[in-house]
Structure 1
Amino acid sequence: MNKDNPMEAAQKFIQKYFPSCNGALLAGSVIRGEATDTSDLDIVIIDESVPSSYRESFIEFDWPIEVFVHNASSYKEFFESDRERARPTMPRMVSEGIILRDDGVMEAIKKEAVVLLNEGPEIWSEETVLIKRYFLTDTLDDFIGCSNRAEEIFIANTLAELVSEFVLRTNQRWIGTSKWIVRSLRAYDEDFTIQFVEAFDTYYKTGDKKRVIHLVEVVMEPFGGRLLEGFSLGK
């Protein structure tokens, strides 16, 4: 038997588990048209009766479901936390989510999320840029000098995360992890994203480091390039 479509399953889930909630929305890949066979339903619940926020996983109506439950104020703490770490998981879910239930609270919350996303994260200070340049340089040097393939692979993984963070944060853009690294880069600059993916793809396939090294050096160049000599932290 075929499982319910996402909207029907989400509505049934809300009626079963949160029949008295103040608001609910369906978010995630299913509403972006990016669902795969392993996709779940991300459901955000606003319920003024719950004392604090929580997250819970279910399998209902043949769907894996992740539910994020908040009261009228706890979601704000998550918005702020996501802004501080520059990873807007909750604001993104709320801003793009489809409202399934609303007693008058959801539109205002969605507007808060949109404003936060449009503002972007805080600008890095000069000191932060300096620190990030140092650690990016240090990791790049480890990558260049390493001759152990097993170790090299994981240094490359770290380097990919650090350089993507550096590019995005120095341009006051949101960052991400896992698949959201590429998605966040693509939202910033499609051409750079192609260069980024091709450089690391070439390395992983052939072991040739040149394109990755060049990419990292180009990214740091406007900020003074590599930084090791003279760097001090906590002196």
Structure 2
Amino acid sequence: MNKNNPIEAAQKFIKKYFPSCNGALLAGSVVRGEATDTSDLDIVIFDESVPSSYRESFLEFDWPIEAFVHNGSSYKAFFESDRERARPSLPRMVSEGIILKNDGLIEAIKKEAAELLKEGPEKWSEETIQVKRYFLTDMLDDFVGCSNRAEEIFIANTLAELLSEFVLRTNQRWIGISKWVVRSLKAFDEDFTTQFVEAFDTYYKTGEKDKIIHLVEIVMKPFGGRLLEGFSLGKN
């Protein structure tokens, strides 16, 4: 069955569920041209009548739909939270979103989102870098020393998350989870991303660890390399 055009489906959805909203945007993979057969519609709603933000899922007009509902000010707390965690989910949706409805407030919010994305997350302090170095070193040592394949797989998963976070945050870049790990890395450095994916792909296929170990060591080298001896946390 052919789905309704995403913009048309989104507009029908707005008219049915949020006819009195002040503004609405269609965001997500369909806007970026990355939609798959399982993609949904991400729709950001601004409605001054709602007391607080909420998220709700629907299945309408042949599409799974995720509605992110905010009033004229509640979105600001989400912008700030996303900035603090360095994962700009809502600002990205607002910035890239196609306007479905606008009573005059959307342009200012889109501008706010774009400026936040351009500014990037807060720079890591030297103390934070040291803490992250320590945990990355600890996980790398676990990975090197482990001989249990089942445990190794999950250690590798965690190592990939820590490594991507370290690379991106030490360069004051936004991070991501799931598919956004690779997308965030590509936005930073495509060559490094190729090495990153190849190193972990090689391990998962063959069990060979050397490429991952080498990559982690290269990433940490400008910051002093591995950190274990002498590190303390919370000591008075």
User: Which TM-score applies when normalising by structure 1?
Assistant: 0.99
Aligned positions of 1:93-104 closer than 5 A: 93-104=93-104
SS at match of 2:56: strand
- Report deviation, 1:26: 0.1
Report the 3-state secondary structure (helix = DSSP H, G, I; strand = E; otherwise coil) of the residue aligned with 2:67: strand
Q: Is 1:196 equivalent to 2:190 in the alignment?
A: no
- Structure 2 portions without partners, runs of 5+: none
> In the alignment, what sits opposite 2:135?
135
TM-score (norm 2): 0.99
Q: How many residues align?
A: 235
Cα distance in 2 for partners of 1:84, 1:53 equals 18
Counterparts of 1:52-91 in structure 2, within 5 Å, are 52-91=52-91
What's the CA shift string for 1:58-88, capped at 9, x where partnerless? 0001100000000001100000000000000
* Aligned-partner Cα distance in 2 for 1:121–1:170: 10
Identity of aligned residues (%): 85
Q: Point out 4+ residue stretches in structure 1 off by more than 4 angstroms.
A: none
1:209 equivalent in structure 2 = 209
Q: Distance in 2 between matches of 1:110 and 1:3?
A: 28
Q: Does the residue aligned with 1:7 lie in a helix, a strand or coil? A: helix
Query: What RMSD, in angstroms, separates the aligned Cα atoms of the two structures?
Result: 0.5
2:92 maps to 92
1:144-190 CA distance string (max 9 Å, x none): 00000000000000000000000000000000000000000000000
Q: Secondary structure at the match of 1:64?
A: strand
Once residues 228 and 3 of structure 1 are traced to their aligned partners in structure 2, the CA distance between those partners, rounded to angstroms, is 55
Amino acid at match of 1:121: P
Q: Please give the residue correspondences for 1:6-17 in structure 2 after superposition, counting only pairs within 5 Å.
A: 6-17=6-17
Aligned to 2:221: 221
Q: Any idea what SS the aligned residue of 2:183 has?
A: helix
Q: Which residue of 2 aligns with 1:2?
A: 2
What per-residue deviation string (whole Å, max 9, x for no partner) do you get for residues 25-67 of structure 1?
Answer: 0000001100000000000000001000000000001100000
Matches within 5 A, 1:43-192: 43-192=43-192
**TM superposition shift of 1:4:** 1.0
